[in-house]
Structure 1
Amino acid sequence: MRKTSLIPYAHLPRAHHNRHVLTSTVDVFGAAHWLLAERAPQRGGDVVPFDALVVSVHPGGNAELTELSAVRARWPHLDRLSAGGFVVAASRARRHEDANQVQVFDALGRETSSFSVGDAIEHLLVDEADHVWVGHFDENPAGIRRWSATGRLTWTSDGARIPGLFDCYALNVSGTTAWACPYPDFPLVEIRPDRTDKPVRVWSNHIRGATAVAVHGEQVTFCGGYGEERDRLAHGELTETSVEPTEAGLLTLPSGPVPRHRRVVGRGSRIYVQAEPFTTWGVFDLSS
């Protein structure tokens, strides 16, 4: 089986390796971001607001620091807004904390608003127009939804006729388009809420268990799977109604196998992968 090595993409500057990585992501413009705290969060009990540091590494290698005040998320998701601010969201929403689940910070690190998007966040990705896309796992039946950066619901998968949307396994946001691959039927779904003709398109798909997807023209690649297929790269081509598999291989780090604990982010033709200790990002690019 052919092996494909991740290409090194971005590194957390060594000066910040003494802090705990709460989460990390790559935004829609290609900048990598790390949300850092002095120590790991404690399990149980209410979260005491804490100050955090976002280290951003832009394409080309320039680093930028943003200090965030009074972060409230114990297990956060992070993404950047186009004007330089950040969205930080708690993956789990306790009922008495719902209104504060998502915090929006300006470019100076000051909280400007907060709102709730619902419990059980699997993916949170911001698009070029600052829409906040949220894909939920199976403890929340909301599926996939799109919010404004001020907390207004602007699109929902309710009534979108996406088959078997119980868990948003994979979500890719590029430009203002989202691609998803939900459990249990794993169709490939294209979502363009602002398109009047067919805002949602669905292709049947027999590749199961992918946690990330990349799309380039009529080509598609699924990353991940169940059991021994967790490092699988499964390639396919789009027909009118289905994904037709073409070949499969293995995704590896430049130095060898990808560790079990990792993060993945899908952005257009790219799948970014971050493995423990979560200080570097590698990339697979379907377009190349």
Structure 2
Amino acid sequence: MTTRKADAQHPVQPPAIPSAAATPLTPYARLPRRHHDRHIAHSTVDAFGQAHWLLTAREPGREPGRGRGAMKPYDALVVTAGPDGRSQETELSALRARFPLIDALPDGGFVVADARSRRSEQHVQVFDALGRESWAFRVGDAVEDLLADRAGQLWVGYFDEGVFGDDDLSRPGLRRWSAGGEPLWAYEAAQGASEIWDCYALNVAEEGAWVCAYGDFTLLEVRPDGSVRQRANSTKGATALAVHQGRVTFLGGYRDDRDRLVDAALHHREVRPYASGRLVGPDGAPLGRRRTVSRGPRVYVQEEPYTAWTVLDISTQGGAGS
């Protein structure tokens, strides 16, 4: 897969707003040490706040002599842990994803998708609570984010190679599916409205979703009925965002702004920044390579080597730099 986002060569546009001190993350959940010898194929935090690690014996890869996309099925272990330190394990059999993305479903099952796929491949597998595959379907190539909501619906954001590729399923940039593979909704830009060329940041909240996408980074609020409100946004390049009670906090940006926090107020047609700062680790150290998951007022952050999740929760913390 291609790494873009913070490394992309786009002009830096720092916000002309007051700059504040650093905001530290809070420790959240850890992978038990006994599993540290396994390969972490993917990890996420679900809609109910549980962290999950998809562990394999080695990095998934194609078998020698096989063509593109031809995978020998492999087994995996899902380790689930919460802030209380308790953990549980679920074995999954016969996974086929070369670049796996995982999330949990409200019935105790899991969904695993391959980020890259051909149009002939059923690249999304759904497993029941016992780890048995129930069915498979496809959602399109170049999956950037796969997030299940509390109802078990799947929000899928796509990166540019899908939006501008030859897979029609990916072209809207954002879609919502049932856990059974039924297409429920797709983003469609009205005349003069913002297109999703690359879904940089996707927040799946209890009701609806929020999107900040390349090219113009307009903040899109997707309501439960599928209607979309657009708000003009001057903060460019954010890769995660949190939303709470009329406030949005953006994380990330290009080059030196990859750890930037920008607080903004939600107005009818725009977001208005009022403070900025930097996000740092719980110990105050700069952040390294990381994954992020955005859920309502929370941004979960997992730094390399991806064995622990930390959290920024704007419903309990002040603004940037507080």
Interval containing the TM-score (normalised by the shorter chain): over 0.9
Paired residue type of 1:62: R
Match of 1:253 in 2: 281
1:145 aligns with 2:169: no
**Matched residue, 1:234:** 262
Distance 1:193 1:8 in 2: 31
Unaligned runs of 5+ in 1: none
Q: Whole-Å Cα distance in 2 between the matches of residues 52 and 160 of structure 1? A: 42
The match for 2:34 is 15
Partner in structure 1 of residue 271 of structure 2: 243
The Cα shift of 1:104 comes to 0.1
AA partner of residue 153 (structure 1): P
Question: Corresponding residue for 1:194?
Answer: 225
1:157 paired to 2:187: yes
Greater RCO structure (CA 8 Å; 6+ sep): 2
Give the conservation status (yes or no) of the 8 Å contact 2:29–2:51: yes
* Counterpart-to-counterpart distance in 2, 1:239 and 1:178: 17
- Give unmatched runs, 5+ long, in structure 2: 1-19, 164-170, 317-322
> 1:129–1:176: 8 Å Cα contact kept in structure 2?
no
- Identity among equivalent positions (%) equals 53
- Look up the match of 1:58: 82
3-state SS of 1:185 partner: coil
The number of equivalent residue pairs is: 282
Cα 1:216/1:67, change in 2 over 3 Å: same
Provide TM-score, normalisation by structure 1: 0.95
1:42 positional shift: 3.0
CA drift at 1:194: 2.3
Length-normalised TM-score, structure 2: 0.85
Moved over 4 A (4+): 159-162
Q: Which amino acid aligns with 1:58?
A: G
- 1:65-104 per-residue CA deviation (whole Å, 9 max, x = no partner) reads 00000011111111000010000000001234x22x1000
Structure 1 pair 55–238 and aligned structure 2 pair: CA distance change class (3 A): same
Whether the aligned pair in 2 keeps the contact of 1:193 and 1:200 (CA below 8 Å) is: no
Residues 1:87 and 2:87 aligned together: no
Q: Does the 8 A contact of 2:60 with 2:97 survive in 1? A: no
* SS of 2:256 mapped into structure 1: helix
| SS of match in other structure, 1:140 | helix
- 1:74 corresponds to: 98
In structure 2, give the amino acid aligned to 1:185.
D
Aligned-residue offset at 1:61: 2.3
Distance in 1 (CA, whole Å) between partners of 2:205 and 2:50 is 13
Give 1:221's aligned residue.
249
Q: Which amino acid aligns with 1:210?
A: A
Tell me whether 1:128 sits opposite 2:150 in the alignment.
yes
Measure, in 2, the Cα distance between the counterparts of 1:87 and 1:40.
19
After TM superposition, give the deviation of residue 240 of structure 1 in Å: 1.2
How far has the Cα of 1:140 moved from its partner? 1.8
Query: Do 1:155 and 1:193's aligned partners in 2 also have CA atoms closer than 8 Å?
Result: no
Q: Distance in 1 between matches of 2:258 and 2:201?
A: 13
1:174 pairs with 2:205: yes
CA displacement 1:162-205 (0-9 Å, x = unmatched): 5031111000002131110010110111112426xxx2111100
User: Does 2:295 align with 1:267?
Assistant: yes
